[in-house]
Amino acid sequence: MADKNYYVYILTNRSNTLYTGVTNDLFRRLYEHKNKLIPGFTKKYNIDKLIYYEVFDDPETAIRREKEIKGWTRRKKIKLIKKVNPEFKELEI
The residue type at 85:
N
Domain layout of the chain by residue ranges: 6-84
**pLDDT category of residue 93 using cuts at 50, 70 and 90:** confident
Of 55, 66, 68, 21, whose CA–CA distance to 40 is shortest? 21
Q: What is the pLDDT of residues 20-76, one digit of tens each?
A: 999 999 999 999 999 999 999 999 999 999 999 999 999 999 999 999 999 999 999
Its pTM surpasses 0.85: yes
| Fold of the CATH domain 6-84 | GIY-YIG endonuclease (3.40.1440)
What is residue 21's three-state secondary structure? strand
